Structure 1
Amino acid sequence: MQAPTIGGVTVPRGNGSTVVRVRRGASLTDFADKIDANPASLVQVLIHLGEMATATQSLDEETFQLLGAELGYVVEVVSPEDEEKELFSAFNIDLEAELEEEGEEDLAARPPVVTVVGHVDHGKTRLLDAIRNADVAEGEAGGITQHIGAYQVHTDHEGVDRPITFIDTPGHEAFTAMRARGAKVTDIAILVVAADDGVMPQTIEALNHMQAADVPIVVAVNKIDVEGANPQKIRQQLTEYNLIAEEYGGDTMFVDVSAKQGQNIDALLEAVLLTADAALDLRANPDKDARGVAIEANLDRGRGAVATVLVQSGTLRVGDGIVAGVAHGRVRAMLDEHGNNVHEAGPSRPVQVMGLAAVPRAGDTFIVAPDDRTARQIAEKREAADRQASLAKARKRISLEDLNDALAAGKVETLNLILKGDVSGSVEALEDALMQIDVGDEVDLRIIDRGVGAITMNNINLAVASDAVIIGFNVRAEGQNAEYADKEGVEIRYYGVIYQAIEEIESALKGMLKPEYEEVELGTAEIREIFRSSKFGNIAGSIVRSGEIKRGSKARITRDGVVVAENVEIAGLRRFKDDVTEVREGFECGINLGSYNDLQDGDLIATYEMREKPRD
């Protein structure tokens, strides 16, 4: 049925309960196709509702809900999970049906996947070093783990060789997003708390992630060899967060360790296996096409795109066609954590995969596709959906009423950034941290492009076109690219530690804000007697009550608490017969207020200056 005209436009109308499903990041054209309407008419309806958008511009969920309510439709924006299901079903891939068809006889035991989490500098990397006898911390900038890695170690448990897979998550607070993702792929968490430091903000943050994901926790109380260490205090502190030690009658295993001395590492691995056996059913079907998640990915100059993947079910083999996020390809080679070639990887096995055409993001799921063509098509559809979703995210919503005022006042400022890093996890963590910088509504931070690898000519050209700043995290622009950027005046900032980048960008954003000024009182003086002068006008014989009175400063006159004059200048200042520039508290002086002569005994003269207010 036809709706009455809305803003002079007639559009097809729903009955109030008609459901329209649109994918995340869809445009008005996509919505128009669903309801058989002219996209131009929907643009006008949005303008009528106080929103501006073009027919091909990606819209956010809120705008779709607003439009749907006006036209009588219930708009459902398809979630990423539903989007994936619909995408796979289009290629006859049904992951849920696969799981339902698996019987008990198809499942085999798999190693536990363990994530090591905790506050920065509490010894997570050193603990992993002690476990796998590899030295990662020495090569880390600022002593902070910047990348995610995955490793498998073997330990003897009750006479049986048991493998355990470890995921090493960075400890700095900027990596919250990646730690949250780590909680989704992990079976057990080792929470590292320094015995000499106690429970810290990131300890609680990591704990919240793991408890939200319902992941069993083993607590490693580290640095017990350090002076001032108090392991019992850690046990008491963590009881506040529902982690009660077994010796206190709880069900959480606490192990006192020294990563530096390699003390009690075996006991910690045993606690992990005991927790896994008691609390979890760790089984998966190894006899099917592999499914899993990309833990990390980077662009290697010699080997191309290299992704560290964790197989969650099935077996991944060399020669398989896979799709991971928006990347696809054929597995050319697989390496284990020691750099050795492996031909197949079963459940809970982390491996480095080579052969992808692009770099996936940390946390992207991967599947083995039936053939190369299917893998490519799935990757292309994902890439198109991602591109539209990022456009929707980048759109700054501003109503028609606000727009002219904001432009007229010069309030809309935008800082465009292009992020490039050596690995996708760092780029994503940096983006996540930057988008959380809050400097109010006056400044808009927009990340217009991000990627892995060296800074290219394309990045520089985009920066020229959009007045963007390029952030290089452990990557650089070299040779002619660097020369071209210099010639075009493109600013490239290089960083090796993530929090330095965050601090500098925050400072830059605050620098774009209009300066705020605050009034600072300099001094007050009470008028004791008025002297008439034919040459200078009225002179206020006064005593300085507080601070100091300076010649040339602005003043306010109050009488019985009521302001009688504002913005008056201290034109002259005398002590006895001498002209002076300032008079301090407790001294008497003569004050000349220029042309202002309406003075009385007892009036209070308060001097002040306007100072730029520092941003928090």
Structure 2
Amino acid sequence: MTKIRVYELAQELNVPSKDLIKILLEEFSVKVKNHMSVIEEEDAELIKELIGSVEKESEVVELYESIENENVVKNIKKEKIKKTDKKASKKSGEVEEELLEFIEIEGTISVKELSDKLKKPVTEVIRELIFVGVMAGINQEIDFETAEKLCKKFDVQAIEKEEEEGAVEEDTDLEEDINGVKRSPIITVMGHVDHGKTSLLDAIKQTDVTSTEAGGITQHIGAYTVKVNNETLTFLDTPGHEAFTAMRARGAKITDIVILVVAADDGIMPQTVEAINHCKAAEVPMIIAINKMDKVGANPDRVKQELTEHGLVAEDWGGDVICVPVSAHTREGLEQLLEMVVLSSEMMELKADPDRNAKGTVVEARLDKGRGPVATLLVQNGTLKVGDSIYVGTTYGRIRAMFNDKGEKIKEAGPSMPAEILGLSDVPSSGERFVVAKDEKTARARADKKAESIRQEKFQKSHKVSLEDLYSQIQEGKVKELDLIVKADVQGSVEAIIQSLEKLSTNTVKVRVIHGAVGAISETDITLASASNALIIGFNVRPTVNASAMAEKEEVEIKTYRIIYDALEDIKSAMVGLLDPEYKEVVLGTLEVRETYKVSNVGTIAGCYVQTGKITRNSKVRIIRQGIVILDTDLGSLKRFKDDVKEVNTGYECGVTIERFNDIKIGDLIEAYIIEEIKIKSL
């Protein structure tokens, strides 16, 4: 039976692909993944009959009316305030026209400005501020809540002025403007180490090098643009999925398309799997570049076969994932790869409004000795101009100079364009959002407000998911999907655990494993868990020292088990609110084995250095070899020189023997822990 792709049908119907996908799902219960998916021609004919331009026009009218209604409601509110104040003035017998009814305040305001708006002496305003518990000088800024209290003292209604377009809070959605014009796609290249990611990026850069630019890109700013058939593509030159996920952890959705590089002679490797899972979690479409096609032993079909094991089926195998064989060395397939990126971006119908104030994301930033704080910004909407005042998290400033990816001075940067800027008060963090404000004073006020909110957050616990409070979060509606990351000692265990965990899904909560792999729990796992609000489940593996510290900082919960049944029971009990642990494990410290000695009648003595925490005589211990737990047992003896001791702290050396175990090796880690009884709080 003949089939048709979604984007082809969308073109026939003259509707955006994403709208058609939504209609297919909601109206016809036809599930399609993206614009490259195929549907039966019979279904397509039925859809053609039922979808008409009138329906689209009516939706636009409804949208317009809803926007108008919002404006009407706002106006009604203002009129209501006016009428209320007028009635009050009539009752008191005052001259109605001279009565000050309300004033508008934008975010924060200085005491001097407020006194001017109230038409009152500054001394009187300061005195009234003292009565409401605020000590403020003539030039000091006060927030809207304080100003509102003060205004009531003078029988004036304070109204918070609506933000002008572009001068909004940094948690504002940075999605494309549906009413804007076409913008360039933003692409990130990922892949396993040594699979040719850097070589491919270099080859792509060369496509845009002219004879006058013999040196190629003259200045590294973390992002660059490439022209392909009169289309501009923006590439992020990030270290890989770690940076990609770190940005997502800060709430920045910066990438439209990911090019996943897989070596044709090597196939899917651990970092490839991580990249796939990170992209799935971020819901970013992937184009597979099967690299090193010039190598002996290149086998693209094997790569496609391995991709199917991770839910990615190539187009020529009946799926919807674009796979392009390339060679960064010979430049084979490079043009086709870039054309596929252009086609995919056209189907996504990316839009932005260049006429509004700019907003976007920090790609990277550094402190330059000669120029001060330097930041590379990626404009995602609007146009950024020299002279604009911006705020980025707790940083602010006025743009003094701007450079493009070639190192050339520019005056403005439009949507999807990277630009290096000077003029910020401090170095911002990668992934922070920037927003253009009305003036530098407003930008500073916004940055100060953000700094204050960060300080306040330190006093409040974040709502990271944990097994102990999972049930209450489910009841409050905060958790509808429990995301898990699974790490185990062998691949067979990973697969078995994932299948068992996902079967725990209920009508209320879906259990989803977003990443599963072999090996120790790493910092990358913590980053992904933090970005996705996921729990980490480990089987016969332990977190690295850095991962443990990072998990504590990011408040990511790590649960480790030796028996699959125990994990399933814990999660099942947590979901129904029956998890009631009586004991908990407390890790005391970590030791590194630096030497071993065989002593007759004693066995093997391990000469150790205490890396973190401490070890005590009554500790239980785990022997960890290359991230895998090979033994969990009791401590035999603990000595300093020839003397038995009760404990040894960080930075000291000691000798230990392990109960009924002599196969200790140099480089092994010993994790000391105790089991504590959980005290039940009295009511």
TM norm structure 1: 0.48
Bigger Cα Rg = 1
TM norm structure 2: 0.43
> Of the two structures, which has the highest relative contact order with CA contacts closer than 8 Å and spacing of 6 or more?
1
